[in-house]
Chains A and B, each alone.
Chain A
């Protein structure tokens, strides 16, 4: 279940209350997010839409602990993150969040295997366990045969699938996807969306995705629009 009215619905995985984010540009104060509320249950697939500059990516960064809110609280899996120190937040991200970016953000000098292995280097897993996890993640995204390839030897769609494998390999609590199909053609974009759907349906992952693409958004369980710094529920198909 996804709610944006600030009413508690039991044990929501992500709970955002009265979230404000302001930026200063010279003497001007820009209110990007104002009094935003959000509840997301485990296993949901949520799409955030809105015009450029509406604060979608800002919201995603706040949910992922990459940025700190000006006011309000963010609770994820029972932990309140907005007051965590930088070091704690890094450890929290490693444990709970899998990121998927528009430009894939793979490290070009590492192979697909090594890129996917990165989050596991922050765990206590042995080398053989890490290998097992990486191979499983790459098989889920259908790239078992591309493990030794470098990013520049892969297509855009394959790169994004490696990035998804990297996002899921450490079994995070939820995935944050920032326009994951933004740099892909329709066919590859849809393959990525189908992969995300599969992760939700078959692996019970929670996915929060920012997108400009209504077709991609329609695949989500719930579409939320950012308007004037707050979220409003949208009807699917709109």
Chain B
């Protein structure tokens, strides 16, 4: 049987000052790690939530985002007639040909300008993007300079409340409605009538940047895709809307992940050294106790296991403390420029259970690395000499 765990647990408590140093180091690294992962996760979730498996996004072939995509009117008609695309009660295809522009608008908190994405949509867009609900006011009337704004836009941009008038692209627009897109990236957008937006920003009248099409059901996606990609008159990329937004989130999430890992690794190395220091001093201070255990007949393996467990226990507390400190960022809303659309996207940090679990595993890894060498040293202490140490 192994050296009783209670011996290690009580020893940690007895040497609490040095234990706290290691706990703080590991906790800090885990806290930063969890916060960064929660940020990446929040950003990704925000964008992914914008898409639906019931919708298909159609862009010019090879386009990486809506910004460098173009689809003309003829192509739009062909797309609308594709098999597998849903129609309303009147037989109108549920397709929204959209144009995306960027407007510089002052932020509420700092007064500095932020790039806000304005999406020119079809009047039937709410039947297609069913995640979007009008929560205040009403939807815009076609052909009228009216805007509906996302929830985050009213919160973060000046003069974007219901009833406000706002100047965009040389025209005065009325804010007639506020919509809730369920915490997705669409919440950071302003929507208006597509032909009017194209005119305002001097865009060609019959050119769109993307087509968002409602599928008859999620299973008809392949039919739509096959039909459009095999049509020689079209050069388009067809993807599920949810995949499109996942792709849109990739660059930023990769950057956040990379930065997160980098910071966590640097802090982790520091934390491992503090764990090493704590465990080496624990071994040194308890040399006589270790020698006594060896004299009683406990083997070297038991001593290694005992000190590694002690280090893991310290790191587990560190991990839990780090998670506890990172927890308040959960739900915290921040905004960033999405480099694929050049516009501000507000998103909330998401501290999920898998992220916390990853943080704890990271902590245990630091504990293992920080505890192993001192534990081996403990097992190799010369028993006879250590027994007489004071």
When A67-B384, A107-B7, A110-B7 are in contact, do A118 and B293 touch as well, CB less than 8 Å?
yes
Q: Are B296 and A119 in contact (CB under 8 A)?
A: yes
**Chain B: minimal CB distance from A49 (Å):** 18
Docked complex Cα distance between A102 and B384 (Å): 13
| Chain A window 46-75, contacts with chain B (Cβ cutoff 8 Å), 1 for yes, 0 for no | 000000000001100100101100000000
Question: Which B residues from 209 to 248 make CB contacts under 8 A with A?
Answer: none
Say yes or no: is A84 at the interface (Cβ < 8 Å to chain B): no
Q: Is residue B111 contacting chain A, with contact meaning CB distance below 8 A?
A: no
User: Which of A90, A91, A97, A105 lies in contact with B292, CB distance below 8 A?
Assistant: A105
Q: Does A108 contact B (CB under 8 A)?
A: yes
- Chain A contacts for B384, CB-based, 8 A: 57-58, 61, 66-67
Could you tell me the distance between the alpha carbons of A94 and B292 in the complex, rounded to whole angstroms?
Answer: 12
Q: Which residue of A lies closest to B382 (CB)?
A: A67
Contacts of A66 in B (CB 8 A): 294-295, 383-384, 387
How distant is B278 from chain A, measured CB to nearest CB, in Å? Answer: 16
Contacts of B4 in A (CB 8 A): 110, 114, 118, 121
Q: How far is the CA of A99 from the CA of B387 in the complex (A)?
A: 11
Q: How distant is the Cα of A122 from the Cα of B301 in the complex, in angstroms?
A: 13
Q: Most A CB atoms within 10 A — which of B14, B299, B300?
A: B299
Among candidates A86, A97, A109, residue contacting B14 with C-beta atoms closer than 8 Å:
A109
Q: Decide yes or no whether B170 CB sits under 8 A from chain A.
A: no
**Most chain B CB atoms below 10 A, which of A87, A109, A119:** A109
Partner of B299, one of A61, A90, A105, A110: A90
Which residues of B from 113 to 144 have beta carbons under 8 Å from A? none
- Count chain B residues whose beta carbon lies closer than 8 angstroms to a beta carbon of A: 27
Whether A93 is near chain B, meaning CB under 8 Å from some CB there, is yes
Given contacts A57-B388, A108-B14, A110-B7, contact A90 B294 (CB under 8 A): yes
Question: With contacts defined as CB atoms under 8 Å apart, how many contacts are there between chain A and chain B in the complex?
Answer: 79
Question: Whole-angstrom distance between the alpha carbons of A108 and B15 in the complex?
Answer: 12
* Candidate in B289, B293, B296, B387 with the most chain A CB atoms within 10 angstroms: B296
Residues from chain B with Cβ under 8 Å of A95 in the complex: 297
Instruction: Flag if A94 contacts B7 (CB, 8 Å).
Output: no
| CB <8 Å contact, A99 and B295 | yes
B288 at the interface (CB under 8 A from A): yes
Residues 1-20 of B, flagged 1 when their CB comes within 8 A of A and 0 if not, give 11110110011011000000
For B10, the chain A residues whose CB sits under 8 A away are 109-110
Report the Cα distance A61→B384, complex, angstroms: 6
Taking CB as reference atom, which chain B residue is nearest A167? B296
CB of B144 to closest CB in A, whole Å: 78
Near A by CB (< 8 A), chain B positions 280-334 give 288-289, 291-300
Q: Does the CB pair B388–A122 fall under 8 Å?
A: no
Q: Are B297 and A105 in contact (CB under 8 A)?
A: no
Q: Does A45 contact B (CB under 8 A)?
A: no
Residue in B closest to A111 when the chains form the complex, CB atoms: B6
Instruction: Report A-chain residues with C-beta under 8 Å of the C-beta of B294.
Output: 66, 90
Tell me if B266 counts as interface (CB < 8 A to partner A): no
- Asked if B353 CB lies within 8 Å of chain A CBs, one says no
Interchain nearest-CB distance for A2 vs B (Å): 24
Given the complex of chains A and B, what is the CA–CA distance between A214 and B271 in angstroms? 54
Instruction: Specify the chain A residue showing the minimal Cβ separation from B303.
Output: A90
Which residues of A lie under 8 Å from residue B295 when comparing CB positions? 64, 66, 93, 97, 99, 105
CA–CA, A99 and B294, complex, Å: 11
Q: Which residues of B contact A (CB under 8 A)?
A: 1-4, 6-7, 10-11, 13-14, 288-289, 291-300, 383-384, 387-388, 390
Q: A91-B299, A108-B14, A166-B296 are in contact. List 20 more A-B contacts (CB 8 A).
A: A57-B384, A58-B384, A61-B384, A66-B383, A86-B300, A91-B297, A93-B297, A94-B296, A95-B297, A105-B289, A105-B387, A107-B289, A107-B292, A110-B6, A114-B6, A114-B7, A118-B4, A118-B293, A121-B3, A122-B1
Chain A to chain B: the 9 pairs with minimum beta-carbon distance, closest first: A94-B297, A109-B10, A105-B292, A121-B1, A61-B384, A90-B299, A93-B297, A67-B384, A66-B384
